């Protein structure tokens, strides 16, 4: 039995500052999101309720007065691409079956890769 693939694409015109903890995307497999100046709550909780997320693309501007921490601890993640502008942020990636990683940032802030033993290809610009 094939399960449907659920895809969510959030564009630049959409603005939100937090993800309610009661929102769960338990069937979401593809998430493409464009963000502009998120706060830490959004950065840390956006992906926490996506247990089967396989493909994640983040585009945005992360300029902030505080250091942002994007916690991308997603057990099913296979493809992760992000293109972010800004200096004060950190990306924590814990994805045991991650195969493809693409990072594009002029400032090269801090990236921590944990448990990424399946990585096939990585592009850093």
Tens of pLDDT, residue by residue over 23-47, are: 677 888 998 888 777 777 777 777 7
Give every residue of the chain whose pLDDT is below 50, as ranges: 1, 15
Percent of the chain with pLDDT over 70: 78
Q: What are 108's two structure tokens?
A: 């090269």
Give the Cα separation of 15 and 7 in Å (integer): 19
Cβ atoms 40, 66 nearer than 8 A? yes
Tens of pLDDT, residue by residue over 90-100, are: 888 899 999 99
Question: What is the pLDDT at residue 96?
Answer: 93
Return the H-helix or E-strand segment holding 42.
helix 40-45
CB within 8 Å of 26: residues ≥ 6 apart: 49, 50, 51, 52
- Show me where the domains of the chain are located: 6-124
The model's pTM: 0.81
């Amino acid at each position: 039995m094939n399960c449907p693939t659920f895809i969510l694409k959030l564009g630049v015109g959409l603005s939100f500052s937090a993800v309610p903890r009661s929102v769960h995307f338990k069937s979401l497999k593809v998430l493409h999101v464009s963000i502009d100046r998120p706060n830490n709550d959004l950065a840390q909780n956006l992906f926490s309720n996506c247990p089967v997320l396989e493909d994640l693309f983040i585009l945005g501007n992360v300029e902030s007065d505080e250091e942002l921490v994007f916690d991308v601890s997603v057990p099913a993640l296979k493809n992760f691409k992000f293109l972010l502008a800004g200096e004060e942020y950190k990306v924590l990636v814990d994805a045991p079956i991650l195969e493809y990683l693409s990072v594009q940032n002029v400032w090269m802030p801090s990236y921590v890769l944990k448990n990424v033993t399946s990585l096939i290809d990585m592009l850093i610009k």
